[in-house]
Amino acid sequence: MIIIKLNNREFEQDIRPLVLSFYPGAVLLVLDDGAKEADAGQKEPRTEADLLLCIFQTETDVRISLYQAPDAAEPVLKREEIFPVPEPLPGEEYRITRKNQLKRDLYRFLSACTGRTLPWGTLTGIRPVKLVTAMLQEGLSEDAICARLETDYYMSGKKQELALRTAKNEDRLIRSLEGLRSFSLYVSIPFCPSTCAYCSFTSYPLAKWAGEMDRYLQCVEKELDLIADQTAGKKPETIYIGGGTPTTLLPAQMERLLSGIAARFDLSGLKEWTVEAGRPDSITEEKLAAIRGFPVSRISVNPQTMKDETLRLIGRKHTTAQTLEAFACARRLGFDNINMDIIAGLPGETPADFQNTVEQIRRLDPESLTVHTLARKRAARLNTNAEEFAAFAGGDTDAMLEAAYAGARNMGMEPYYLYRQKNMAGNLENTGYAKEGKFGIYNILIMEEIQSIYAAGAGGSSKLVFADGRHERIENVKDVGHYIARIDEMMARKILGGNL
Ligand code: SF4
């Protein structure tokens, strides 16, 4: 545990993630330092803690102190530094200047304490690329952008390049979209053959729900009827069938779902239709053939890793051989836009294991590659059963992501979307790479407020975007049983959300 004492909590939400980036997995307790001095290490301890970080701001300076064993009779002062507060400049937003300066001071301080640097520097938000996009829109040159990312945010040269490339590709893609003239559709099939150890999605065991699949599809169809009414006069720009694992549907059920969509919507303006086939243990030739009967343009075959031992450890219950078979089958049937998802930082994996996964994927030559960094989500087994995985520490995740970047570029791919989540190994990122013309449009749409996304199915989250810039979320319940039982309520929520 780390106790953070602040005499001013204005920037607490910026301080917390930066401290966590240097001390991953630490439990933070933030307290008010009501004293006039920053010598909180001398005061009565309130709880057991390993470290005490005091940040004491005045109008002229910031004093940062780090104490070890703060609960001991005599806490040990590990480091203390005083940083001057910047002078306000005419016309600037002084609060932002102070915040950024405080983050830089804290970064340098913690970097000196831990001996570490962070690839993304002081940037702790989930969309670091947004900052670069704003600089491009300001008209800054690439050199000027990189210089600012380095001096203002301490971002590494590699992340500067990644952020810049991603921002340019994302911007180009966004400009090609229809925006509010169109909409997107998401259908959730929240069933999986087994539950992966890191899973934080809506996922239910197929074995338990297989008998309810027809009732589930009936409910989805009811929602599709309503969405077709609400979007009358518009054509979908993208459709995404996600999960869970959509290929848990039997071939006839898949055909029923896809033909139900094709019958309800005018697909003449469709730019992308993705079916996230996902788990190789759920993919069969019959299912892929059923998908091929519709204008589905993109599928995913997700290995996560090409190491069987890791697959067993994380509960994926499929083998590398099954991934290779599923991929070959998809190619045989003519799929020419296949995405593969992999994860850096899986338990027990070394950079060499990860490099082997990238190399095997390079030989398959998919059109896109999505590289996730392992995130320890609260409800995931990786977190709830932490002791089960304690002996399988992950290797250097940053080195893995560099290998993925190099591998994707070798395959002729460009990064086109990037985001971060809480509790990611090394405070790193998830990046989507694709070959030219094969970017996953829906992946961009879910991060931006460009057009409405209507979602059907358990756990589906609709996002309505209105012409006046407003946007609103309408959530379906996650629990499949509740979704089926309360389908009329899900429909009523959508009606209350209003037509476009
Ligand atoms: S395949 Fe995806 S949704 Fe299903 S259990 Fe694994 S992580 Fe969760």
Work out the pLDDT band at 176, boundaries 50, 70, 90: very high
Predicted local distance difference test score (pLDDT) of residue 38: 43
**Ligand 1 atom closest to the CA of 203, numbered from 1:** 3
Of all residues in the chain, the percent with pLDDT exceeding 90 is 76
Which residue from 329, 311, 327, 330 is spatially nearest to 319, judged by alpha carbons?
Answer: 311
Asked if the model's pLDDT at residue 92 lies above 80, the reply is no
- Domain for residue 46, yes or no? yes
Which residue from 290, 286, 362, 297 is spatially nearest to 326, judged by alpha carbons?
Answer: 286
Which of 73, 89, 116 is the last residue in one of the domains? Answer: 116
Ligand 1 pocket mutation, candidates 188, 194, 201, criterion most atoms within 8 A of CB: 201
Whole-number Å distance, alpha carbon 201 to ligand 1 midpoint, is 7
- Domain for residue 285, yes or no? yes
Asked if residue 128 and residue 26 are part of one domain, the reply reads no
Cα dihedral 491→443→470→429 (10° resolution): 120
Distance CA 62, CA 6 (A): 11
Q: Is 193 in the pocket of ligand 1 (CB under 6 A)?
A: no
pLDDT tens figures, 223-234 = 999 999 999 999
Which residue from 447, 474, 477, 476 is spatially nearest to 463, judged by alpha carbons?
Answer: 474
- 82-89 average pLDDT score: 88
- Domain for residue 499, yes or no? no
Least confident stretch, 176-180, 222-226, 424-428: 424-428
Which of 116, 138, 154 is the last residue in one of the domains? Answer: 116
Asked if residue 313 and residue 210 are part of one domain, the reply reads yes
Ligand 1 pocket mutation, candidates 195, 310, 316, criterion most atoms within 8 A of CB: 195
DSSP letter assigned to residue 388: H
Asked if the model's pLDDT at residue 45 lies above 60, the reply is no
Q: Is 156 in the pocket of ligand 1 (CB under 6 A)?
A: no
Asked if residue 349 and residue 247 are part of one domain, the reply reads yes
- Domain for residue 480, yes or no? yes
Asked if residue 185 and residue 71 are part of one domain, the reply reads no
Expressed in percent and rounded to 5, the helix, strand and coil fractions of the chain are 45, 20, 35
Distance CA 178, CA 184 (A): 11
pLDDT tens figures, 302-338 = 999 999 999 999 999 899 999 999 999 999 999 999 9
Distance CA 488, CA 483 (A): 9
- 450-460 average pLDDT score: 96
Burial (CB count within 10 angstroms: exposed 0-12, middle 13-18, buried 19+), residue 232: exposed
Distance CA 29, CA 16 (A): 9
115: helix, coil or strand? coil
Range with top average pLDDT, 58-72, 77-91, 184-198, 376-390: 184-198
pLDDT tens figures, 109-119 = 999 999 999 99
Asked if residue 293 and residue 254 are part of one domain, the reply reads yes
The number of domains in the chain is 3
Residues 6+ apart with CB under 8 A from 363: none
CA atoms within 13 A on the CB side of 198: 21
Answer with the residue of higher pLDDT: 500 or 369. Answer: 369
Of all residues in the chain, the percent with pLDDT exceeding 70 is 94
- Whether 172 and 159 have beta carbons less than 8 Å apart is answered as no
Residues 6+ apart with CB under 8 A from 188: 202, 242, 243, 244, 455, 456, 457, 458, 459, 460, 476
Distance CA 89, CA 62 (A): 19
Asked if residue 285 and residue 211 are part of one domain, the reply reads yes
pLDDT tens figures, 118-152 = 999 999 888 999 999 999 999 999 999 999 999 99
Pairing assessment for the beta strands 461-465 and 471-475 based on DSSP bridges = antiparallel
Asked if residue 373 and residue 306 are part of one domain, the reply reads yes
Whole-number Å distance, alpha carbon 202 to ligand 1 midpoint, is 8
Asked if residue 63 and residue 34 are part of one domain, the reply reads yes
C-alpha Rg value of the chain to the nearest Å: 25
Asked if residue 106 and residue 128 are part of one domain, the reply reads no
Q: What CATH number is associated with residue 444?
A: 3.80.30.20
Residues 6+ apart with CB under 8 A from 410: 362
- Domain for residue 267, yes or no? yes
Whole-number Å distance, alpha carbon 380 to ligand 1 midpoint, is 11
Whole-number Å distance, alpha carbon 492 to ligand 1 midpoint, is 29
Q: Pick the residue whose CA is nearest to atom 8 on ligand 1.
A: 199
Asked if residue 139 and residue 54 are part of one domain, the reply reads no
Which of 116, 136, 152 is the last residue in one of the domains? Answer: 116
Distance CA 345, CA 397 (A): 5
Q: What CATH number is associated with residue 84?
A: 3.40.50
- Domain for residue 500, yes or no? no
Token match 């990238």: residue?
A: 358
Does the predicted TM-score (pTM) go above 0.85? yes
- Domain membership of residue 315 as a residue range: 177-494
Pairing assessment for the beta strands 51-57 and 191-192 based on DSSP bridges = unpaired
Q: Pick the residue whose CA is nearest to atom 6 on ligand 1.
A: 196
Predicted local distance difference test score (pLDDT) of residue 187: 98
Which residue from 46, 45, 12, 42 is spatially nearest to 30, judged by alpha carbons?
Answer: 12
Work out the pLDDT band at 27, boundaries 50, 70, 90: confident
What is the token pair recorded at 476?
């379906």
- Domain for residue 370, yes or no? yes
**Ligand 1 atom closest to the CA of 278, numbered from 1:** 1
Q: Is 201 in the pocket of ligand 1 (CB under 6 A)?
A: yes
Predicted local distance difference test score (pLDDT) of residue 36: 43
Asked if the model's pLDDT at residue 265 lies above 80, the reply is yes
Which residue from 394, 9, 475 is spatially nearest to 202, judged by alpha carbons?
Answer: 475
Sign of CA dihedral 173, 442, 439, 350: positive
- Domain for residue 234, yes or no? yes
Asked if residue 202 and residue 188 are part of one domain, the reply reads yes
- Whole-number average pLDDT of the chain: 91
Asked if residue 206 and residue 57 are part of one domain, the reply reads no
**Ligand 1 atom closest to the CA of 200, numbered from 1:** 8
